[in-house]
Amino acid sequence: MEKIVSLCKRRGFVFPSSEIYGGLGSSYDYGHYGVLLKDNIKQRWLSAMVQERDDIVALDSSIILHSDVWQASGHVGGFSDPLVDCKFCKKRFRADHLEDSQCGQRPSKRPGEASDCDLTEARHFNLMFETRVGAMEETGVPVYLRPETAQGIFINFKNVAGIARRKPPFGIAQVGKSFRNEITPGNFIFRTLEFEQMEMEFFVPPGEAEEWYRYWVDERYAWHRRYGIRESHLRIRPHEADELSHYSSATSDIEYLFPIGWSELEGVANRGDFDLTAHTNASGTKLEWVEQDGSRYTPHVIEPALGVNRSMLAFLVDAYDEEVVADRDRTVLRLHPQLAPVKAAILPLIGKSDDMTGRARKLYEELRPLISVEYDDGGQIGRRYRRQDEIGTPYALTIDEQTIEDDTITIRERDSLAQERISIARAREHLLDRLAEPWSSPRVDA
Ligand code: ATP
């Protein structure tokens, strides 16, 4: 993990938050390439959910909702983690994750393993951040920052179903920030106080829930594979009966082999009619589906829920590679080209040659309205290539002496390092074709 953290800082993907004030635990800021990578992940998810399908529509609901939403959903009473404190080392742990935690003592052990460990009973700690709406501290109405985006979808069921011109099975997809007062220290961006979620609630006739649940587990697994996650590092883990949330009749985690071990990347849950029934009862508004013949039912819900930041971490870990090429170390992010923050670097071989820089800038201006490209004429070409390798740029287009003679350029491929000469007039078409090709990780699948 240290190598990923260091690359992210060095290349401006992710910075620790509030660093000049000593930092704030479990909070991170995203730099230029981090923003671009995160945006690409969100776009690919939205495209798979909405653009490539007929049965899902988009929504963007508020972060701050009426407090009754969280009463009805069960979050006010039940959205908590069991925590234990160690009176000896003063550290705090999730009672349900003691196996994966490290105690504060040296040499490090599991909490409770050393003879001096003095653990308290587990206490429940609500994960929702509370704030107030209104000018006055005393009179303002207490509200919560949402801990998940899903409830904004359920309470809009009637609005959307009315205008979406779709009948169950149909879904509503949303991407947005969520907030959880996570007490246990995170592992980089794996678990943070604020994060983005990509959640989709798929409303189905009750008798079809089981079938759609299985469908969405497979579909979501395939999405991670499609964008390059290696098969050996991805698995589906169905929850045991005693692990299920109060609302769920079946849940599977899609797990990734993170440096901290196999952990949840995405959850797919069969939530039954729990949410729509709870909001119907609490609000008095019937959240149900009425058929043409007047018969009515409460749809059941299948929910795939994925964190953008956790997904980004999985893509970074899966892409990070080191190798020795011609006696030199090379660090390379083998990201799927469609996720890569920059698709192509435009590099004049000699930065001081007006002929080369002029042609390179012209190509850059031609490509930039279409795709994310970067122009770089500073320093040795080898160093410029290495910089692009580290941010995962799949192609580098180099303008050299020969370009001036015959209008050809080289296109260098990040993964194989193969170089090919193509005509500058065809560069745009060539690049767009290559970016559209299916891609799988060249990393050894072990
Ligand atoms: P965990 O068991 O890891 O706390 P969860 O089961 O509480 O996760 P869900 O409520 O199912 O998580 O949220 C759906 C997804 O949102 C998770 O699979 C994860 O990708 C992401 N996620 C949840 N909490 C966080 C967090 N604190 N930081 C970053 N991502 C998160």
Instruction: Tell me the CA–centroid distance for residue 115 and ligand 1, in Å.
Output: 33
Specify the ligand 1 atom closest to the Cα of 305: 14
Do 259 and 316 form a contact (C-beta atoms < 8 A)? no
Instruction: Tell me the CA–centroid distance for residue 137 and ligand 1, in Å.
Output: 31
* Residue 138 to residues 12, 70, 141, 390, Cα–Cα distance (Å): 42, 21, 9, 52
Answer whether residue 178 shows pLDDT above 80.
yes
Closest CA to 203 of 288, 91, 108, 139: 288
What is the pLDDT averaged over residues 373-393?
96
pLDDT at residue 136, as a whole number: 66
Instruction: Tell me the CA–centroid distance for residue 347 and ligand 1, in Å.
Output: 41
pLDDT at residue 99, as a whole number: 81
pLDDT at residue 105, as a whole number: 77
Which residue from 175, 191, 268, 302 has its CB within 8 A of the most atoms of ligand 1, so it is best to mutate?
191
Q: Read off the pLDDT band of 356 (50, 70, 90).
A: very high
The pocket around ligand 1, CB under 6 angstroms, is made up of 148, 180, 182, 191-192, 195, 197, 264-267, 305-307, 309-310
pLDDT at residue 372, as a whole number: 97
Instruction: Tell me the CA–centroid distance for residue 267 and ligand 1, in Å.
Output: 8
Instruction: Tell me the CA–centroid distance for residue 180 and ligand 1, in Å.
Output: 9
Residue owning the nearest CA to atom 23 of ligand 1: 307
Instruction: Tell me the CA–centroid distance for residue 335 and ligand 1, in Å.
Output: 23
Between CA 358 and CA 328 the distance in angstroms is: 31
Buried b (16+ CB within 10 A) or exposed e, 45-58: bbebbbeeeeebbe
Q: pLDDT tens across 409-420, in order?
A: 999 999 999 999
pLDDT at residue 344, as a whole number: 98
Residue owning the nearest CA to atom 25 of ligand 1: 191
Give CA 398 to chain center in angstroms.
33
> Please, what is the average pLDDT of the chain?
93
Which residue from 195, 223, 254, 265 has its CB within 8 A of the most atoms of ligand 1, so it is best to mutate?
195
Residue owning the nearest CA to atom 10 of ligand 1: 148
Whose tokens are 């929702």? That residue is 128
Answer whether residue 164 shows pLDDT above 80.
no
pLDDT at residue 140, as a whole number: 73
Do 418 and 412 form a contact (C-beta atoms < 8 A)? yes
230: its two tokens: 């290696």
Answer whether residue 96 shows pLDDT above 90.
no
Which residue from 125, 177, 197 has its CB within 8 A of the most atoms of ligand 1, so it is best to mutate?
197
Residue owning the nearest CA to atom 18 of ligand 1: 266
Residue owning the nearest CA to atom 29 of ligand 1: 191
- Quick one: 121 exposed, middle or buried, by C-beta within 10 A (0-12, 13-18, 19+)? exposed
* Residue 427 to residues 170, 308, 385, Cα–Cα distance (Å): 42, 33, 18
Amino acid of residue 333: L
Residue owning the nearest CA to atom 22 of ligand 1: 307
Residue owning the nearest CA to atom 4 of ligand 1: 191
User: Could you give the angle at which helices 308-319 and 32-46 cross, rounded to 10 degrees?
Assistant: 110
The dihedral of CA 48, 254, 151, 302: what is its sign?
A: positive
Residue owning the nearest CA to atom 3 of ligand 1: 264
pLDDT at residue 186, as a whole number: 66
Q: pLDDT tens across 304-317, in order?
A: 999 999 999 999 99
Whose tokens are 């991670």? That residue is 224
Q: pLDDT tens across 105-162, in order?
A: 777 778 888 888 888 888 777 889 999 888 766 777 889 999 999 999 999 999 999 8
Cross-strand bridge partners of residue 408: 423
pLDDT at residue 137, as a whole number: 67
332: its two tokens: 């390379």
Q: Which of 11-25, 177-191, 245-259 has the largest mean confidence?
A: 11-25
Residue owning the nearest CA to atom 26 of ligand 1: 191
Between CA 47 and CA 50 the distance in angstroms is: 5
Give CA 385 to chain center in angstroms.
27
Instruction: Tell me the CA–centroid distance for residue 307 and ligand 1, in Å.
Output: 6
Which residue from 41, 306, 310 has its CB within 8 A of the most atoms of ligand 1, so it is best to mutate?
310
What is the pLDDT averaged over residues 211-229?
97
Answer whether residue 254 shows pLDDT above 90.
yes
Residue owning the nearest CA to atom 24 of ligand 1: 191
CB contact set of 63 (below 8 Å; sequence gap of 6+):
145, 146, 176, 177, 179
Closest CA to 149 of 58, 227, 78: 58
Answer whether residue 446 shows pLDDT above 60.
no
